[in-house]
Amino acid sequence: MLGMKGFFNQLLRIDLSKKTWTIEPIPDSILKSYLGGKGLGSYLLLKENPPHVDPLSPENHLIFTLGPMADTPFYGSSRFAVFTKSPQTGIYSESYSGGKITSSMSRTGNDAIVIEGRSNHPTFLEISDEGVVFHPASELWGKDTYEAEEAILKKIEKKDSGALVIGPAGENLVRFAVIEIENWRSLGRAGIGAVMGSKKLKGIVFHGKKRRAIADLPLLKRLSKEFKDRVKDNPTVHIYKKYGTPMLVSIMNTIGAFPTKYWSKGTLEGWEGISAESLMEHCEVTPSACPHCFMACGKVSRVKKGRHQGLRIMGPEYETIYAFGGLCMVKSIEEIIYLNDLCDRLGMDTITAGNLAAFAIEASGKGKIKDKLSYGDADAIAEILKKIAYRKGVGEILSEGVRHAASVWGMEKDAIHVKGLEPAGFDPRVLKGMGLAYATSDRGACHLRATFYKSELSGQINPDQIKGKARLFIDYEDKMTLFDGLILCRFYRDLITWTDLEEILRAVCGLPLKKKGLKAIASRIINLAREFNRQEGVTKKDDKLPRRFFREVLQETGKTIQPDELEVMLKEYYQLRGWT
């Protein structure tokens, strides 16, 4: 049966090799079992991708999905997702972004867009409610992301259209290349931009007029209004609006969990220079919001003085500050903005870029490479980033990711990653629940699947507690997975309750589910991603942490995590997930 509310019940399949497209129905049973977003994306990836396919081959699928909340009035709903097999990790890969593009994508009338094959020459796609046009993009190949997006939108000249593009890094198959939107929004950790590059796909522009059918629109509007009235004065809202994610710099340094000097320390001397307060002092900062958001966590920052005067970006986010400020010890917020801008233009993930730059500095110190690099040298780091994007010199090795670089340089014991992906800026020796997160996340050492740092930082659970931690962790992970099935912004996680989720789902999809039913959907989605990775050869043995986290004590706090502590958390986690 077809026609579940909240969805278009439609999948668009595009074959870049044949330059053809088709429309296919999506059965209700799939949407009821998995919802949209992560559920639909994971279901399709598992179904479409043959096991062990080369991520950069035509056989790898690139799958964009929307959730039933997209282009609706509910807050935090302007988001979409993309799924593929990662060229960086060789396993499941997912990524989410917000922005105006969500409504442009939604109005094409598809719940999922599945892209397969490979074009012979550079192409960009125009996807609308009338179909797909394949445009030549040879003139755009080589352009940075800002130029490419502007050129694509200018060429199409349709009101309310939105575009996503890759930069030189994606074209050159850098294994952690991202997709960029609206200049500064990045998505695609673990190399989704390289998958686009392998398909010779420079960009996609979306436009259309279709609107999804909502089961009870008046109810959804009432829920939205009541929700905003209830939470708009919550301190979380104010702090995100005022400082955004850079507020974490001071918090993480205070507790000694700010990864510094390539994971050898937990605090950065001089962290004040890269804090949220420093950002406010040295830049003109304007809050910026995705559509349908009153939190406005985004910050458009314009450097006031110095050699980068006038440079303007959205950000930097905490993760970029940690990667370049902490790991590489660049202690100037303006220099971090400079490196952030470079990554955005080249189309590279800043977390991985910062980790690799710091790893290269370590390699330089050990005499493993000829390049003379030192901590805090922003210009040398900028050169490394350019070399990576264009695969020049040492960049050729680094462009393949930290796992590869470590094996070439005999530095496996030094490299920090899980399943090939570098962790975010939360040291698991202090926040032990993040150790469980990094070990089990379906895309490698990711902080977003459960965002469990929030629970440990807020005092909801003691960061050192081991026994019983997995139960609360799963509650977080389930809720975040539901958010990803509906595609809601994570920063609303403490404001949107389970009861809200029940009511939203009833209003949008007409599904009368209680928390138990919602958690069952989350479990099914998590199992899909796990099954994808199992097919790729991932086993429980791969749910581990880098040895340095067990062996190296953080001097400032005396903190470490022990293998048996991780083991206890993992055992509880597997038991509760039913993974025997």
The verdict on whether omega for the bond into residue 316 sits within 30 degrees of 0, i.e. cis, is yes
Separation between Cα atoms, residue 459 and residue 339, nearest integer Å: 34
Least distance from ligand SF4 to the Cβ atom of residue 287, Å? 8
Q: Which is nearer to ligand SF4, 164 or 295 (CB)?
A: 295
Q: Which of 363, 317, 316, 331 is nearest to 267 (CA)?
A: 331
Tell me whether residue 452 or residue 491 sits nearer to ligand SF4 (CB atom): 491
Q: Do the Cβ atoms of 69 and 508 come closer than 8 Å? A: yes
Least distance between ligand SF4 and beta carbon 495 (Å): 10
**Residue 316 makes contact with ligand SF4 by CB under 6 A:** no
Applying CB under 6 A, the site for ligand SF4 has a residue count of: 11
Q: Which lies closer to ligand SF4 via its Cβ, residue 26 or residue 487? A: 487
Shortest Cβ 451–ligand SF4 spacing (Å):
12
- Choosing from 6, 41, 76, 435, the residue that interacts with ligand SF4 (CB under 6 A) is 76
Question: Stretches 109-117, 217-225, 288-296, 327-335: which one binds ligand SF4 (CB under 6 A)?
Answer: 288-296
Report CA-CA distances (Å) from 563 to 207, 466, 544: 51, 12, 9
Hey, what amino acid is at 559?
K
Q: Where in 339-398 is the site for ligand SF4 (CB under 6 A)?
A: none
Strand pairing class (298-303; 92-98): unpaired
- The closest of 95, 323, 80, 91 to 206, measured between CA atoms, is 80
Q: Which residues of 324-336 are buried (b: 16+ CB within 10 A; e: fewer)?
A: bbbbbbbbbbbbb
Stretch that binds ligand SF4, among 290-298, 419-427, 474-482, 558-566 (CB under 6 A): 290-298
Stretch that binds ligand SF4, among 15-23, 286-294, 305-313, 545-553 (CB under 6 A): 286-294
What's the length of the chain?
580
With respect to ligand SF4, which residue has the nearer C-beta, 290 or 418?
290
Q: Which is nearer to ligand SF4, 289 or 513 (CB)?
A: 289
User: What contacts 546, CB < 8 A, 6 or more positions away?
Assistant: 415, 416, 417, 418
**Site mask, ligand SF4, residues 55-74, x = CB under 6 A?**
--------------------
List the one residue from 67, 298, 325, 428 that touches ligand SF4 (CB under 6 A). 298
Nearest-approach distance from CB 370 to ligand SF4, in angstroms: 41
Query: Which DSSP state fits 258?
Result: S
Identity of the residue, 74 or 452, whose beta carbon is nearer to ligand SF4 in the bound complex: 74
Q: What is the largest CA-CA distance in the chain?
A: 66
Question: Least distance in Å: CB of 95 to ligand SF4?
Answer: 14
Which of residues 489 and 569 has its CB atom nearest to ligand SF4 in the complex? 489
- Beta carbons within 10 angstroms of residue 2's beta carbon: 11
Question: 44 vs 487, which CB is nearer to ligand SF4?
Answer: 487
Our CB check for ligand SF4 shows the closer of 291 and 376 to be 291
Of 295 and 528, CB closest to ligand SF4: 295
Least distance (Å) between residue 238 CB and ligand SF4: 12
244: left (phi over 0), alpha (psi -120 to 50) or beta: left
Asked if 81 interacts with ligand SF4 (CB under 6 A), we say no
> Smallest distance from the beta carbon of 133 to ligand SF4, in angstroms?
30
- Residue 414, token pair as written in the block: 């030094």
- The token pair that represents 25 in the structure block: 């129905």
Binds ligand SF4 by CB under 6 A, chosen from 290, 339, 373, 446: 290
Measured from the CB of residue 459, what is the shortest distance to ligand SF4 in angstroms? 23
Sign of CA dihedral 511, 514, 520, 522: positive
Residue whose CB is less far from ligand SF4, 147 or 182: 182
Of residues 298, 329, 266, 319, the one with CA closest to residue 425: 319
Residue ranges with strand state E in 107-220: 112-116, 123-128, 131-136, 162-165, 179-181, 185-187, 201-207
Q: CA 40 to CA 64: how far, in whole Å?
A: 10
Nearer CB in complex with ligand SF4: 156/289: 289
CB of 76 or CB of 325, closer to ligand SF4: 76
Concatenating the DSSP letter of every residue in 192-229 gives HHHHHHHTTEEEEEEE----PPPTTHHHHHHHHHHHHH
d(CA 343, CA 324): 11
Candidates 152, 210, 153; CA nearest to 10 is: 210
Q: Give 294 or 498: the residue with its C-beta nearer to ligand SF4.
A: 294
Closest distance of CB 76 from ligand SF4, Å: 5
Of 101-109, 218-226, 294-302, 463-471, which segment contacts ligand SF4 by CB under 6 A?
294-302
d(CA 12, CA 196): 17
Tokens of 559: 């903190």
Least Cβ distance, residue 332 to ligand SF4 (angstroms): 25
Site string for ligand SF4, 455-494 (x = CB under 6 A): ----------------------------------x-x---
Instruction: Enter the tokens of residue 232.
Output: 């708009």
Please calculate the CA angle 456-460-463 and round it to the nearest 5 degrees: 35
Q: How far is the CB of 159 from ligand SF4 (least distance, A)?
A: 23
Nearer to ligand SF4 among residue 298 and residue 425 (C-beta): 298
Minimum Å gap between C-beta 314 and ligand SF4 is 10
Look at residue 96 and give its three-state secondary structure: strand
Under the binding rule (CB under 6 A), the answer on residue 297 touching ligand SF4 is: yes
Q: HSE of 121 in the Cβ direction (CA atoms, 13 Å)? A: 7
Q: How far apart are CA 91 and CA 530, in angstroms?
A: 10
Q: Given candidates 98, 315, 325, 485, which one binds ligand SF4 under the rule CB under 6 A?
A: 98
- Minimum CB separation of residue 227 from ligand SF4 in Å reads 14
**DSSP code at position 418:** B
Using the rule CB under 6 A, give the single segment among 80-88, 274-282, 292-300, 421-429 that binds ligand SF4. Answer: 292-300
Q: Which of 204, 295, 346, 389 binds ligand SF4 (CB under 6 A)?
A: 295
Q: Residues interacting with ligand SF4, by CB under 6 A?
A: 76, 98, 289-290, 293, 295-298, 489, 491
